[in-house]
Chain A
Amino acid sequence: MPRPKKIDKQRKEDVVPDLRQDREEFLRMFEKPTQIYRFLRARHCISPTFLHRSLLYMLKRNSRTHARRQKFKVGDMLEACITKQSTDKLLPQQQYDQLKILVLGFCIDPGVRSENNVGRKFSSLETQVSLRKTHRCRRKDGESSHTEELVGITDTPINPRNVDAYEEDPLYLSTTHMYQTGDGTSVKNYSLVFRVYESNDNESESESDFSDSDNSDNWSDGPGGRKRKRKEDDPAGISLKNLTTGTRRRRTIHDDDKQDDDDDEEPVNGSSKKFKKNHNEKSCTLTTNAVYEAELVMFNSEKQLLLSDGEYELSLTRTKSEGVGRKRNATWEALDGGRDIELLSTMNSAPVLKFKLCWSANEKPGPLSASENGDTKNATSDEPETKRMRRRPSVKTNAASETNGDTDKPNTLPVELVEYRKSKLQSATFPKGDRDEDSVMSEDKVLVYYQFIYNSETQQQTEAREDLFCPWCQLNCMTLYGLIKHLKLCHPRFNFTYSPQQHGSCIEVSVNECYDGSYCGNPQFIFAQPGMAFSRRGPVHRIEVTDTLVYRPRRERRCANLALAELLEKEENDASPTAHYTAGHHRLYFHSRNAVPIRPCEFEGDSEDEADPDWLRAYTKRMLDEFTDVNEGEKPVMKLWNLYIMKNWWGCIADAQLFSSCRTFLDLYGPLIARHSLRNNLLLHFVTLVDFGVLKASALISLMEHFDHVASTVTPISPKRELADDIAQADMELQLLPALPDQPRAGSRAKRVSVGDTKMGSMDFYEHNMSSQVDRLHAIINHAETKPQSQ
């Protein structure tokens, strides 16, 4: 919000209420979606649902080529491992007796505002590295004493831009004596202790000034030369920053220009003043004390080396004196990923000290080091300190630095490490609607203007950035094309309209009124039982929801190299067919009988396929039972036949089929009929078929021969069992039988029948669990309704 403020500064008296209203308007439009995207970004950092580098428009982010994939063999992995192991053996760890510690920087997450002031106050800090030995107390086993040896003190930059550029003198630690177990019996373990002190240089004054000036109007008056330079380096809209940092600092700005960021969070002014006082006090005391501290175990009590080569990020905690009352980290706590939440959030909320450990002079971490790191981490996971430790695979950093080189911007920050430090351009440089005077900007730099249009397209605010970071995600999109693609695809709550400008590009941002926030993910996940959709316990069957559509716009021809021209044509692409085509495929289907969602594992079978549902079987039995003038010998034969026909209706479409059907009938029910000695009735049944002309008399003879053959193994039971029970049982058996081979359906149809048969169990299961299911659904629905709509 630089410009209004600037105007405010110039004509303070009359415009103030207007501006305020204007800003309110602006915030009302953009604040909520921005916060949402900020949250999503945080979530994405913790548990990514996809990798940006695998997106087509983010090709640049993918540093790897797929050249090696062509000739990749699985054996190569093994070989690589073996060579790695062999080299490891050649160079056993004991050989390193010197640990090089290279402190790279002290990073404060932009989201963590309580720590921000430190970053603003001091350009660099001192890091003291010391070795802590934990001694075993002979007398009391439970207790232990510590001794510390100072390894060294080094200057540490805050939020360094370029890691490689900051090549400092490393600290060396000799570890030879640690291996000597003989004298070290009293020493339980060794750990490295990192303490970060503030260095008391003069610039801190101006720094603090700057930190306040972020929000105040008079920042342009106060900056020192260095600050100035920074500002020019990073021209970005303050409004964006304010929004993207996810806090509301606007409220009290006009009340107190000097107000610290933290205080604005407090709704009551009185309390905010108190905190301000606190803050001032603290900044006085901080000058001498260690501000942050962290410990990293090097050797555990078993003398195992826990640290290996690589870059480390170590989250620091405040030393106790300052830690009191400073719990108001304005981070988003809503992180998915379940139980590891605390561990993950510490990496985000707490400041991070980055350093490099190196056992040999010229270490070159290979791809395997990452996995090794993983092992190390697992081994030490019970240590409380290492909980806050995160190893950064050096590959990634390399890639980042490499891509940085591509963009011709040596000053680009490593992407996820440091918050993009935003400063703003002088609003004077960009008066409203007039973008010609960007003389300040150097021509070779990318300049992206974001024009926020609001208040029903009557007002706009313009902000410029000179990089290709997504203002909401802090994601380096590397190319303008990628940036706009990213904006359009990942931030659907806004409309982005791209238009090229003389000295850069302009992106109009407006709130997408059509965005209804409706869920558009896999519908299964909504209905899935807890733990089903995101189960980490093992593989689960899922329905692919978007696979049916492969929409390939003619990208190759019209815009060969992911050109921006594609984005310009937005108007005509508006009715893009994607929406239409995907409409049918993002759907949750239900069982037609009870409206219970079809689970993925049941998706293939047509559970409603059976031609003889329970009720129909019961019905036909009942109907025959109701006849009074049909005797007790005829009924069972008729029932069995009916049940059989209903089950195998496809075997009885034509007269010609009937003979084979009768044979199968005998195979199935012959024993039962013989057991109850109903042979004569069966014969009458077949004679009836002959009488009706659907069976040949010769077939009758062979059928009865077949029956006698089947029945020869069965002895009629003397005390007749309850016939009805037997029929019911036969009915059940018939259901459980596999589908008969002589189905008329070929191919998929036949398969489906068999699937349906095997799935029948689950279907029945559904039916019987319907009530409980419905109850649970109700519970979920109720819960959902009571829950306030979060988005």
Chain B
Amino acid sequence: MSSGKKIDWKKRVRQEYFRLRQHKRFQRSDNIKHAFTKNRGVITERANKLNEETKFEAQLFEKDNSFDDDPVTKSCVVKSSVHSFRDQAVPLYTLNSVPSLPVCYTWVPLQQNFMVEDETILHNIPYMGDEVLDEDGAFIEELIKNYDGKVHGDREGDFINDELFLELVQGLHEISAEKPTRKLRSRNGASEKGKYTDTTDSSADEDDTSADTDDPPPSSPAAESSSQESTSFPCDEIFTAIADLFPDKGTVDDLKDKYKELTEVLDPHTVVPDCTPNIDGPEAKSVPRERALHSFHELFCRRCYKYDCFQHSHTYRPPVKANRRKTLDVRAPSDACKNNCFLLLDGAKEFNLFHSRSSSSRQASNRKYRPLVVGAAGGTTTSGSSSGSRPSTPTPSESETDTTEERDSSNLIKLEDLPQQLRDVEWDGAESSLFRVLHETFLTNFCAISKLLKTKTCQEVFAFALRESSTLNSQPGGAGGRLSVDPDSLEFSPAKKKRKHRLWSLHARRIQQKKDNSSSHVYNYQPCYHPGQPCDNSCQCVALGNFCEKFCQCPSDCHNRFPGCRCKAQCNTKQCPCYLAVRECDSDLCTHCGADQFGENASKCSCKNVMIQRGMHKHLLLAPSDVAGWGIYIKEDVNGKNEFISEYCGEIISQDEADRRGKVYDKYMCSFLFNLNNDFVVDATRKGNKIRFANHSVNPNCYAKVMMVNGDHRIGIFSNRPIQAGEELFFDYRYSQSDAMKYVGIEREMEAA
């Protein structure tokens, strides 16, 4: 009995599995069909629209289908042997012979590098013609070995994913629950497992008979039953059977856990625990600052200014920069904003003064700061939100001590002092969350906070702030902020400036040294983050020989920071430290050369060392090459040496991935790989821009140079000599920063010859 049951379950699982799979396949093909027709519709619609727009243009596409304007060369007559029929005559038009084009594989246009993750499975076995496939099976084998034998869609037979698993379990559960529903409900519909097994055992008996008669489960009652017993849990038998069938998916318990997890996710009403409710929505909750900003902070890329950017999302990103002193330039209000400003309340001014003083005194004494309001809940420690105000706070008195501070604070206004109507104001979740968010930025400038909140007056905000602080005070120990490393006041003193200048000349020397030492080993830059530690040998920037960038968490006077140039010219000679360091001028650092001029002021920018970041590439044109395959031609004249032509864009892949892909490309004799640095390679095969069509030449008119642009390595193609409009562009694939471009096979052979 029991064995028969087991076999039955296995069979059932298999049946159900294949049914689901087939169903999926049909669904998929249906989806594809649907998407296809939809796309066709979109295409025709847009084409029509564009046709409408360009109707009056002289050169339309499908203007005339006749050959009226073609030269007539001959009259072709078909004579009929039957006399009553007329001869059929038609003019013969000769069309031009059109030369065939070189082969062009599909690629995707891109104007900026795009980082992709390693492919751990082989997505397709490259087709290189029948002869290669026949004679060179070893290559394919090697290829598969590179991917540890993982080929996409390889194990089609026992493939199972979450979705399928869920459906499988549910489908089986419906079958099992088909009959015993009543029983189940009559008992306690709880998810006691022991009871469950009992019921399913008994129900399986009945199933035995029913399953033989009708294999496909009747769907409508099943749906009913499933809706009825949403609380019930599938029986163990199902999981054991599945675990038997798919041994690689884990044990029975794993499967159960997974099922639980998946069902929970599916429930639309249960919010994902990590997800903060929409702050604009009705379910907005009062959450601490960190949670309110969590998504934004996690996804924002400080280097691209984008959320979840393509280029840096796979690499390490330091947490939110803790030290934001530069941007916090809002001072505490000294004057009342309007008639009922909080400053007009009793004691508010003193409160304000106290806090501003305390913050400044804190800075002066380099002490740990205890923020006024820190989210009471957990997570504060990690963030270490040590905020500071600008140094220009009104009265920084050195003489103040802790005692005075404490004495002052004891005299401060308390929540109880405020009028009742202020205290009783209702604050909903969104408002209180926002207050916490803004309070850290604007400190005690309740006028500003109120302005941004829009829904509350500054008096109400003030009252709320007091309420918050009182609850906070009741809790022992503030957040452990970290050292606020440098006092801002120094930055603006004349002594500092001098030091900086010295620093700068020191830098210039160091760049020179660095260049002499190891130019061939360039490592990818990653912002360093070592709180409390200066950038010494343990800093990854220093270790890798990179400069600290503005994205680093180290203080701005870090000795490893690149200071920018002070050129007044074009920054295209080695006089310019940026140029010497193979960097583009940083718009936030180099202000003398005009790299910080944008927009209408762009004409003021004399710097020629900002071409890549500003994308000021030349207009390139694609045509069949004079040498091999396709080639790229320049549309406009290039007047001199070292002029920027274009950036070599593509996918950024790791070196390992490049090795794997390179195997295939070498076989194809066509490679678009370009070493970016020791860690990464640019591959323009799938994504890229037009310069990817530039051919190799030993006597080129262009050269490639990997430059550091705002913390990223990017490949610039520059002119070697003046180039005339219409010339084909070549560069020497071998010569690059680290001599690493794997050049095209055809040329490689030509080289050898």
CB-based contact A741/B599 at 8 Å: yes
Stretch of A144-152, A171-179, A537-545 contacting B (4+ beta carbons < 8 Å) = A537-545
Write the chain B residue with the least CB distance to A784.
B97
Q: Which of A736-783 contact B (CB under 8 A)?
A: 741-749, 752, 761-762, 764-765, 768-769, 772-773, 777, 780-781, 783
Q: How far is the CA of A628 from the CA of B443 in the complex (A)?
A: 33
Write the chain B residue with the least CB distance to A785.
B97
Query: Chain B 591-621, CB within 8 Å of chain A: the 1/0 string?
Result: 0000010111011010000000111100111
In the complex, which residues of chain B have a beta carbon less than 8 angstroms from the beta carbon of A787?
94-95, 97
In the complex, which residues of chain A have a beta carbon less than 8 angstroms from the beta carbon of B296?
634, 638, 684-685, 687-688
In the complex, which residues of chain A have a beta carbon less than 8 angstroms from the beta carbon of B75?
333
CB-based contact A589/B292 at 8 Å: no
CB-based contact A336/B71 at 8 Å: yes
CB-based contact B95/A633 at 8 Å: no
CB-based contact B108/A698 at 8 Å: no
B249 located at the interface, meaning its Cβ lies under 8 Å from any Cβ of chain A in the complex: no
A323 located at the interface, meaning its Cβ lies under 8 Å from any Cβ of chain B in the complex: no
Q: How far is the CA of A677 from the CA of B616 in the complex (A)?
A: 38
In the complex, which residues of chain A have a beta carbon less than 8 angstroms from the beta carbon of B53?
761
Q: How far is the CA of A338 from the CA of B94 in the complex (A)?
A: 12
CB-based contact A631/B98 at 8 Å: no
B267 located at the interface, meaning its Cβ lies under 8 Å from any Cβ of chain A in the complex: no
The listed residue with most A CB atoms (<10 A of its CB), out of B284, B292, B310, B725, is B310
B306 located at the interface, meaning its Cβ lies under 8 Å from any Cβ of chain A in the complex: yes
Nearest CB of chain B from residue A777's CB, rounded to whole Å: 7
Number of chain A residues whose Cβ lies closer than 8 Å to a Cβ of chain B:
127
Q: How far is the CA of A612 from the CA of B190 in the complex (A)?
A: 54
CB-based contact B275/A631 at 8 Å: yes
Task: Select B615's contact among A611, A628, A687, beta carbons within 8 Å.
Answer: A611
CB-based contact A693/B613 at 8 Å: no
CB-based contact B623/A769 at 8 Å: no
A532 located at the interface, meaning its Cβ lies under 8 Å from any Cβ of chain B in the complex: yes
CB-based contact B95/A695 at 8 Å: no
In the complex, which residues of chain A have a beta carbon less than 8 angstroms from the beta carbon of B70?
338, 530-531, 534
Nearest CB of chain A from residue B634's CB, rounded to whole Å: 9
Task: Select A650's contact among B110, B614, B619, B724, beta carbons within 8 Å.
Answer: B614
Query: Chain B 316-329, CB within 8 Å of chain A: the 1/0 string?
Result: 00001101101111
Nearest CB of chain A from residue B456's CB, rounded to whole Å: 13
Q: How far is the CA of A538 from the CA of B59 in the complex (A)?
A: 10
CB-based contact A531/B64 at 8 Å: yes
CB-based contact B451/A701 at 8 Å: yes
In the complex, which residues of chain B have a beta carbon less than 8 angstroms from the beta carbon of A654?
586-588, 596, 598
Nearest CB of chain B from residue A748's CB, rounded to whole Å: 8
Write the chain A residue with the least CB distance to B44.
A768
Q: Which of A653-691 contact B (CB under 8 A)?
A: 653-658, 660, 677-681, 683-685, 687-691
Nearest CB of chain B from residue A362's CB, rounded to whole Å: 44
Q: How far is the CA of A435 from the CA of B282 in the complex (A)?
A: 110
In the complex, which residues of chain B have a beta carbon less than 8 angstroms from the beta carbon of A752?
619
Given A623-B308, A657-B598, does the pair A592, B693 have CB atoms closer than 8 Å? Answer: yes
Q: Which of A334-379 contact B (CB under 8 A)?
A: 334-339, 341
Q: How far is the CA of A746 from the CA of B292 in the complex (A)?
A: 42
Task: Select B300's contact among A519, A526, A692, beta carbons within 8 Å.
Answer: A692
Given A530-B70, A745-B616, A784-B95, does the pair A688, B47 have CB atoms closer than 8 Å? Answer: no
In the complex, which residues of chain A have a beta carbon less than 8 angstroms from the beta carbon of B66?
530-531
B437 located at the interface, meaning its Cβ lies under 8 Å from any Cβ of chain A in the complex: yes
B58 located at the interface, meaning its Cβ lies under 8 Å from any Cβ of chain A in the complex: yes
CB-based contact A587/B633 at 8 Å: yes
Query: Chain A 596-624, CB within 8 Å of chain B: the 1/0 string?
Result: 00111100001011110101100110011
Nearest CB of chain B from residue A326's CB, rounded to whole Å: 19
Nearest CB of chain B from residue A645's CB, rounded to whole Å: 5
CB-based contact B277/A631 at 8 Å: yes
CB-based contact A634/B278 at 8 Å: yes
Given A598-B621, A633-B279, A743-B599, does the pair A593, B109 have CB atoms closer than 8 Å? Answer: yes
Nearest CB of chain B from residue A449's CB, rounded to whole Å: 36
In the complex, which residues of chain A have a beta carbon less than 8 angstroms from the beta carbon of B99?
526
In the complex, which residues of chain B have a beta carbon less than 8 angstroms from the beta carbon of A525?
96
B213 located at the interface, meaning its Cβ lies under 8 Å from any Cβ of chain A in the complex: no
CB-based contact A701/B50 at 8 Å: no
CB-based contact B112/A681 at 8 Å: no
Nearest CB of chain A from residue B219's CB, rounded to whole Å: 30
CB-based contact A690/B324 at 8 Å: yes
CB-based contact B109/A592 at 8 Å: yes
CB-based contact B621/A700 at 8 Å: no
CB-based contact A704/B451 at 8 Å: yes
In the complex, which residues of chain A have a beta carbon less than 8 angstroms from the beta carbon of B336?
none
Nearest CB of chain B from residue A29's CB, rounded to whole Å: 25
CB-based contact B278/A592 at 8 Å: no
Given A334-B73, A583-B626, A742-B599, does the pair A641, B306 have CB atoms closer than 8 Å? Answer: yes
Q: How far is the CA of A678 from the CA of B284 in the complex (A)?
A: 12
CB-based contact A630/B299 at 8 Å: yes
Nearest CB of chain B from residue A62's CB, rounded to whole Å: 29
Q: How far is the CA of A696 from the CA of B328 in the complex (A)?
A: 6
In the complex, which residues of chain A have a beta carbon less than 8 angstroms from the beta carbon of B616?
744-745, 749
CB-based contact B308/A744 at 8 Å: no
B31 located at the interface, meaning its Cβ lies under 8 Å from any Cβ of chain A in the complex: no
In the complex, which residues of chain B have a beta carbon less than 8 angstroms from the beta carbon of A455?
none
A590 located at the interface, meaning its Cβ lies under 8 Å from any Cβ of chain B in the complex: yes
Nearest CB of chain A from residue B299's CB, rounded to whole Å: 7
CB-based contact B54/A761 at 8 Å: yes
In the complex, which residues of chain B have a beta carbon less than 8 angstroms from the beta carbon of A457?
none
In the complex, which residues of chain A have a beta carbon less than 8 angstroms from the beta carbon of B621?
589, 598
In the complex, which residues of chain B have a beta carbon less than 8 angstroms from the beta carbon of A336?
71-72
In the complex, which residues of chain B have a beta carbon less than 8 angstroms from the beta carbon of A683?
434, 437-438, 452
Task: Select B59's contact among A600, A619, A624, A692, beta carbons within 8 Å.
Answer: A600
Q: How far is the CA of A769 from the CA of B44 in the complex (A)?
A: 9
Nearest CB of chain A from residue B733's CB, rounded to whole Å: 20
Task: Select B633's contact among A584, A593, A693, beta carbons within 8 Å.
Answer: A584
B425 located at the interface, meaning its Cβ lies under 8 Å from any Cβ of chain A in the complex: no
Given A540-B59, A613-B108, A745-B616, does the pair A642, B307 have CB atoms closer than 8 Å? Answer: yes
CB-based contact A697/B329 at 8 Å: yes
CB-based contact B279/A681 at 8 Å: yes
Nearest CB of chain A from residue B559's CB, rounded to whole Å: 20
Nearest CB of chain B from residue A217's CB, rounded to whole Å: 36
A585 located at the interface, meaning its Cβ lies under 8 Å from any Cβ of chain B in the complex: yes
CB-based contact B275/A584 at 8 Å: no
Write the chain A residue with the least CB distance to B294.
A629
Q: How far is the CA of A222 from the CA of B405 in the complex (A)?
A: 139
CB-based contact B280/A548 at 8 Å: no
The listed residue with most A CB atoms (<10 A of its CB), out of B47, B57, B277, B295, is B295
In the complex, which residues of chain B have a beta carbon less than 8 angstroms from the beta carbon of A690?
324, 327-328, 441
A560 located at the interface, meaning its Cβ lies under 8 Å from any Cβ of chain B in the complex: no
CB-based contact A608/B109 at 8 Å: yes
Nearest CB of chain B from residue A170's CB, rounded to whole Å: 41
B100 located at the interface, meaning its Cβ lies under 8 Å from any Cβ of chain A in the complex: yes
Nearest CB of chain B from residue A671's CB, rounded to whole Å: 16
CB-based contact B619/A606 at 8 Å: yes
B195 located at the interface, meaning its Cβ lies under 8 Å from any Cβ of chain A in the complex: no
14 more contacts with CB within 8 A, not counting A519-B97, A781-B100, are A530-B64, A531-B70, A589-B633, A611-B111, A611-B112, A620-B308, A629-B272, A642-B308, A692-B302, A696-B328, A697-B441, A708-B454, A742-B600, A787-B94
B residues near A, CB below 8 A? 43-44, 46-47, 50-51, 53-54, 57-59, 61-64, 66-75, 93-101, 104, 108-112, 265, 272, 274-281, 284, 292-293, 295-297, 299-300, 302, 304-308, 310, 320-321, 323-324, 326-330, 430, 434, 437-438, 441-442, 448, 451-452, 454, 550, 586-588, 596, 598-600, 602-603, 605, 613-616, 619-623, 626, 633, 636, 689-690, 693, 710, 724-728
Task: Please list the 4 inter-chain residue pairs (A to B) with the smallest Cβ-Cβ separation, ordered nearest first.
Answer: A654-B587, A742-B599, A633-B278, A584-B726
- What are 9 A-B pairs with beta-carbon distances under 8 A? A341-B72, A530-B66, A584-B724, A584-B725, A587-B726, A630-B295, A657-B587, A691-B293, A745-B602
